[in-house]
Structure 1
């Protein structure tokens, strides 16, 4: 029915659940629910701390807690299962597999790195524990190399992993050196790495505080990433030989390079990664687990655009004092983008999960490298961060080495179209989202109009958010961001709002910089 996350509406990324999110969710209910679910967690930073609800670890049904209570004067059932199960059930319940279909599952995240199997009676058995702390170990070398990282918890930051993924594309294809191999092996062998391996313990490494934009670190980042994947691939090749589909969950499911390698491995007839494989999908997974417990059904209907509704806290009259306001004309928007404008694009409800998929986006033409630089400047991001493209599904193989849909921006593709310089990473890849007319008709319509204008149904698509915050979800925040960062205007539902300062419009409706 809906998915409310702590970071949406410009709250800090990776934040605790806000009272407003709880109130917004309660406003969407007709009355007290039948079952109130608590996704298992811990009372603190690390999984070693005391459990909350069913706790962090546990993959079978013996860890589930069921009870009773009251909400708003009404009796309710209560349910809690582990964080580990929340990942497993979110991937299973959101996949296209029929209820009772057997499959493999991979959960790899900060603490857990294991393969599992779903049996036809929806039991889960763990096949292999491959690597403790894969996500924490993946980001650890970024913290090691970054002089600005703190000494606490080995310099851990949630944002490290995404930056690492960008930097691996700059690596040279060189053999693993002795220094690289020693550091990689050391990190992968450490237990509870955030608790046991502070930065000073690795001062012996030549990569300590070397700087994350040094070529030496970029080379290391790619080799470290490859070493982690190879450990999991070796186990999969040895033990996952039954020809079943693979479901992927956990924060490492946001690593597009690894997802692409699983898809291309030839081991599985199908690979599914939900749009919220990280902890943003945990509440959904626990709800699916509760549904399975009470009804025997582990499948749900869902839509990726199930996040919060947009808060219209400014009137058109107020906006008209600052912007030129007109009815939405997709052809006009396409011409503005083709002429170099950067526009915020807001439609319907927020996306669930961390990726902007065309409802809370910044859009721009994909042809100039300078557009990538401008978008990174607007978002106040590092210059090495790539910008993702959004493409009409029917055109994807024209522009990328890819066939079929990729609706959640979770895979890398080789770029085939040399015109797409703004969205082509230094290694020749892009993280494309495909859109069809049924999935997001208005965005598809804009891409079609842009194709008629330029010959390419592809746009730059990056998330509409303040630095370190979740998606913008109110008119006030949107207006402030547009004016503060020099964005040329925005589309909000059925209207186009263009900034007046610094903008000239020619008689043909095309935008030009004054």
Structure 2
């Protein structure tokens, strides 16, 4: 039995395919179209999933959309009626889109599917799952737990912005919800907008900026914006926000509360933005901890699964574990809307069809390390690279590992394109740019010369699972780079009295550890544990680097530049290689050296993509 899940028409469109409950493939549309957060119908991702299974769309038993458009339309109408006549301009703009497209979304979907030779009875095979049910299913059903509480938090689905569920075996029930317009996701997005970053794109920048500031405004947020109860339930004072009735997230009353208008565009970051980021991060952490503590108290469950955009806040996730109320935590690696495609399919297979769950004996969960996207044979890789005019040598695996580990030890940036592409926003050693974490210059080099992005942005370490507790305070698996914890004390460098007096971005160049390239200004790191079972070649590379240097970790950042989706094909990888400061590129067993390439193939990649 094949079930296809689809998410589309908001942001991060994706497709996912199950065969008898086993995840065959999953991918975001942006990786194929090269349009960041592409919201279009995911025909390329869908085509890949079918190709991976070797079937046609006509052979799919059920096709499931990740939310219910009519419930969203109901929310739009009720919101307007609640605030009328305020907000007529935004209502009119939204209605033009809804009447033209979304109100007839079922027909749009059927038309798209018919164009792909979807076969007979498409209308009968097309199903719809509620948004938070899709998120919850994506979190619980692939998890390693037989029983667990399930927490989903995002901006908003149809009505819910936060939901609590209980999962037992193949049964998942949502038992509690908080509804729009009250939303932790929208609150965080309001500060994303106010600090000058793009909503639904720049939230992780706010999280990365937070350690440079002090939470000076946290109490102001709690006094004026957010009524946060002891059990984690909350309400927003909507008079400070514009997202219900206007075209922006915040309004002039919000501006007055925080002492000025929003930062715009690429304006220089000031201490004010850093303190705002620290403040909203502290408030979100407090809210999430209250929610998770109450969940354990109310349900008696010590296992917790999470999904929704807020679940990508890996700093808060790390604090959930350290808080001690939750014993085991599992987070869907594609926690945002892309993962809704997978969750919708799983919700139908286990809930609607009452089928048993599947787990992977190697990875412990059903996500297979999140390596669910396209892969390329060595012959395909070589043909594609030759067509791009690339010069490469084909090595044995042993020689490739040696060459790449040596390049890393010499301080070179290495593009690493291996196996299946990751599903979700994180590069996990399939489509990664790697560096030496011991280098004091690597963080700024990768930001400014390779990624072309803001200098304050931290980088993550990929560490051998067997060595994680020696180098970090983390003792758990973190295969999906969704937990933050501190560098272990033996590897830290104490700050001088003068350094401790520094503020904001002045902290950036103060080395805090023997692995400065992955140590954030508060001694934290966003950790990926690398497992030999799920990614043997990546594990072998880091092991070889450890043999050479004594250091069992590497810098891992996504293989792209700012504003570009993560690379999908060998051609994408070569173009990014030739347009950035990456010095070595490993695509399968093909090794490319920058100095051996045709200079005419070099390109200015810094302005190739719209900034995110």
Which range, TM-score by smaller chain?
0.7 to 0.9
Report the secondary structure of 1:36's partner residue: strand
CA contact (8 A) 1:10 1:469 kept: no
Measured in 1, the distance between the counterparts of 2:134 and 2:587 equals 35
- 2:259 aligns with 206
In the superposition, relative to structure 1, how do residues 54 and 39 fare at CA in structure 2: closer, same or farther (>3 Å)? farther
Alignment partner, residue 63 of structure 2: 36
Alignment of 1:48-447 (within 5 A): 48=76, 71-73=118-120, 77-98=125-146, 101=147, 103-111=148-156, 112-118=161-167, 122-129=171-178, 132-146=182-196, 157-172=199-214, 176=218, 182=224, 188-190=236-238, 194-196=243-245, 198=248, 199-201=250-252, 202-204=254-256, 205-209=258-262, 213-238=269-294, 240-241=296-297, 242-244=299-301, 245-297=303-355, 299-300=357-358, 301-303=366-368, 304-310=370-376, 312=380, 315=383, 318=386, 322-327=390-395, 328=397, 329=399, 330-377=401-448, 378-416=450-488, 417=491, 418-447=513-542
User: Is 2:592 aligned against 1:497?
Assistant: yes
Whole-angstrom CA distance in 1 between matches of 2:195 and 2:385: 51
Q: Which has the higher helix share?
A: 2
CA separation in 2, counterparts of 1:45 and 1:23?
28
CA–CA distance in 2 between the matches of 1:178 and 1:306?
A: 44
Q: 1:320 to 1:77 in 2, by over 3 A?
A: closer
Alpha-carbon shift at residue 240 of structure 1 (Å): 3.5
Give 1:359 deviation, angstroms: 0.4
Secondary structure of the corresponding residue to residue 240 of structure 1? helix
Q: Secondary structure at the match of 1:462?
A: strand
Q: Distance in 1 between matches of 2:367 and 2:221?
A: 48
How high is the TM-score relative to the length of structure 2?
0.71
CA 1:468–1:176: 2 relative to 1, 3 Å: closer
Deviation at 1:8, TM superposition (A): 1.5
> SS at the partner of 2:30?
coil
Corresponding residue number in structure 2 for 1:508: none
RMSD of the TM alignment (CA)? 3.2
Alpha-carbon distance between aligned partners in 2 of 1:179 and 1:358, rounded to the nearest angstrom: 39
Q: What is residue 507 of structure 1 aligned with on the other side?
A: none
Q: Distance in 2 between matches of 1:52 and 1:262?
A: 39
Unaligned runs of 5+ in 2: 1-23, 77-93, 107-113, 229-234, 359-365, 492-512, 599-612
Map of 1:458 onto structure 2: 553
Looking at structure 1, the residues matched to 140 and 573 of structure 2 have their Cα atoms a distance apart, in angstroms, of: 36
Contact 2:170 2:356 (8 Å CA) reproduced = no
Question: Which shows bigger deviation, 409-418 or 217-226?
Answer: 217-226
Deviations 1:399-441 (A, max 9, x none): 1111132100000010122211001011110001011211211
Q: Distance in 2 between matches of 1:404 and 1:235?
A: 22
Q: Is this contact kept in 1: 2:206–2:277, CA < 8 A?
A: yes
- 8 Å Cα contact 2:426/2:480 also seen in 1: yes
Counterpart contact for 2:434–2:554, Cα < 8 Å = yes
Q: 1:30 to 1:256 in 2, by over 3 A?
A: same
Structure 2 SS opposite 1:394: helix
Change in 2 beyond 3 A, CA 1:91/1:316: closer
In 2, distance between residues paired with 1:123 and 1:446? 40
Unpaired runs of 5+ in structure 1? 56-68, 150-155, 504-514
Q: CA separation of 1:179/1:2 partners in 2, compared to 1, >3 Å: closer, same or farther?
A: closer
Q: Distance in 1 between matches of 2:443 and 2:460?
A: 9
Q: Residue 121 and residue 441 in structure 1: after superposition, are their counterparts in 2 closer, same or farther (change >3 A)?
A: closer
